[in-house]
Structure 1
């Protein structure tokens, strides 16, 4: 990726427009066709970055040098100053690409960890220890952080860094506690391709970011709407998309609340809610309860077809091997918190959860496999 430094610099100075693509030839061909690579584009657009593809063919969020620089500067301010970055994520997603762009914007040459054959925590430790710069930063997804915490050398290296951004998927509370106890300077990020990456850190918006909750229910839960200088200029070749109906705001698919101090909490996604027996269940809130169980390392809750209920709640778990998995204990914990309607009808143990994009759980793959 560093042999493409000229292209990366062009993204920041606006001298050309690029669409980062993965190594997979079929996916690359799909994106080239869907995003009309080679066709005219606005003079101010320097980057078209694909979304994680929750609902089918990924869309392309259009960014300018101004939106990308605004994101990089706001991140640098929040982290405490400019520094160098180690890339351990796929560079064709916004989280990985921003690692490279932030380093270049700060005048540094980023380091790149080869993750083609998977994430090696010991190689990560060596790369992080060798990273030069006045401050040292990196970004991971939760599944990588789990591997780091299982490696003494990687844990020590990360604890000696100046900041770890964790995003792409929600960080389980137990994993967060392990990282904090290990002395890792962890920051949970919330953002997406349309916001040039993370724009809310530990629930607090970066400088310039605005948050609005549309149509809140009595508990204050509603759709999250984001604004600010890092918001994309719509989608490539989709000028009428409702997410950008107001060009100064981006309408997300996430449900959340904002407390009196302006802290954002994400509850779940509007398009992932389960309807079971006429009642609505948000998977992420059930997952949070299940992840508190000592036997559970990772968890995904989905709705599968059911003749009687319409959909039934099913929990897929990866065990921690610390204590035996007790399905009744899991069901009881969810029932105590939300009542019986939210408790999983089935608990299915897997070796690993399927993911897509930058570490997000692929619920669609789970539904397809087990329906």
Structure 2
């Protein structure tokens, strides 16, 4: 068993050195946390030990549920890196544009270590397309990659529309991975129209990051749907949750000698193995006796003018029990509520119609870049 050392990621370059050591089976596993955050916060002084093969513990963002601490082995992290390399067409140089305590950020560094290339590290802080472009120009290898969340890609595309230099930088990437949350078809279409190669990724900390690219499982990953929920097996699976045997037993199950991770995501697997994800099983409300997927509502809403970054959350309603509410940053909306309700009803039925539009100064984000849905639900009375 190995002790776990909490590492505030103030300097991604220093963390890269630490990560390299952890992957080499040194005496400690690492739990990276946001810069400036106390290593003793959230009970981290009582972590205990992890199995010998575990190199990294990822503390999840808790976007819709209580935070978890996911134990990832060196083998799982390197298996993910190897599968990604094959799917992308070879090893290359990476630009780190995500927080290094988030699994997608850790994997950018792991892939760099595995490929023997030196990553370019974006400075922590507010994401600025001009700063991104400046650092992207420092990439020197023939194959160039980065990993983003959708809001980052949207900001880059907006900037590229008026700045040819940023567009040129984006088209030089061999591949841009985009994941962490649902990616709108409009965003992908905009990127493709500009000649930018974007790959939609699906995965989580429990699968050592993205394990499905553009709907196709990578490496030896296998995805199946059981009662409408996706389950995943393969070399990329985590060992479980640190200090939470009950949750580990619920999420990681063995069947006929094969270990599966129950994702909690709704979805389907086509006959050719293509995976589609329709939303979280725990992001469903009962409105007037009807089940409504808030993720499905959000997909429709984000396809409307001015609402590409809107977030749909639940709110308590005295008549219907619960209703969808659309939250958007102040000044962003261009589609009135009546039009939003008609569009949603036409696609998903009348019970899915949002009850109202709520403007906030800015959409609160988790460290991972995902919308903080719990904070938004509190704002709207969820």
Q: Same fold (TM over 0.5)?
A: yes
2:244 paired with 1:238:
yes
Q: Give 2:170's aligned residue.
A: 158
In the TM superposition, what are the counterparts of 1:32-51 in structure 2 within 5 Å?
Answer: 33-34=43-44, 36-37=46-47, 39-51=48-60
Q: Give 2:40's aligned residue.
A: 29
Secondary structure of the equivalent of 1:207? coil
Q: Give 2:86's aligned residue.
A: 77
2:135 paired with 1:123:
no
Q: Give 1:359's aligned residue.
A: 369
Equivalent of 2:318 in 285, 307, 315: 307
In the TM superposition, what are the counterparts of 1:50-69 in structure 2 within 5 Å?
Answer: 50-55=59-64, 57-69=66-78
Structure 2 unaligned runs (5+)? 1-11
CA distance in 1, matches of 2:15, 2:314: 43
CA distance in 1, matches of 2:349, 2:380: 25
Q: Give 1:145's aligned residue.
A: 153
Secondary structure of the equivalent of 1:255? strand
2:212 paired with 1:206:
no
Equivalent of 2:231 in 217, 225, 233: 225
CA distance in 1, matches of 2:91, 2:290: 48
Secondary structure of the equivalent of 1:91? coil
On the 8 A contact 2:112/2:118 being kept in 1, the answer is yes
Q: Give 2:6's aligned residue.
A: none
Secondary structure of the equivalent of 2:338? helix
Q: Give 2:260's aligned residue.
A: 249
CA displacement, residues 136-193 of structure 1 (integer Å, 9 cap, x when unaligned): 1101111111111122233321111111000111111211111111111100101111
CA distance in 1, matches of 2:72, 2:308: 36
Secondary structure of the equivalent of 1:100? helix
Q: 1:55 to 1:316 in 2, by over 3 A?
A: closer
CA distance in 2, matches of 1:307, 1:326: 24
On the 8 A contact 2:60/2:67 being kept in 1, the answer is yes
Q: 1:287 to 1:35 in 2, by over 3 A?
A: farther
RMSD: 1.8
In the TM superposition, what are the counterparts of 1:170-209 in structure 2 within 5 Å?
Answer: 170-209=182-221
Equivalent of 2:285 in 261, 274, 288: 274
Equivalent of 1:341 in 351, 371, 378: 351
Give the deviation of 1:29 after TM superposition.
2.4
2:34 paired with 1:19:
no
Q: Give 2:339's aligned residue.
A: 329
CA displacement, residues 300-352 of structure 1 (integer Å, 9 cap, x when unaligned): 1122011111112211234886x843221111111111221111111223443
CA distance in 2, matches of 1:258, 1:35: 42
On the 8 A contact 1:190/1:200 being kept in 2, the answer is yes
On the 8 A contact 1:297/1:318 being kept in 2, the answer is no
On the 8 A contact 2:224/2:268 being kept in 1, the answer is no
Q: Which has the larger strand fraction?
A: 2
2:156 paired with 1:168:
no
Q: TM-score, normalised on structure 2? A: 0.89
On the 8 A contact 1:169/1:361 being kept in 2, the answer is no
Give the deviation of 1:293 after TM superposition.
1.3
Equivalent of 1:8 in 9, 13, 19: 19
Give the deviation of 1:134 after TM superposition.
2.9
Q: Give 1:291's aligned residue.
A: 302
CA distance in 2, matches of 1:267, 1:317: 22
Q: 1:56 to 1:282 in 2, by over 3 A?
A: closer
Q: Give 1:260's aligned residue.
A: 271
CA distance in 2, matches of 1:72, 1:264: 20
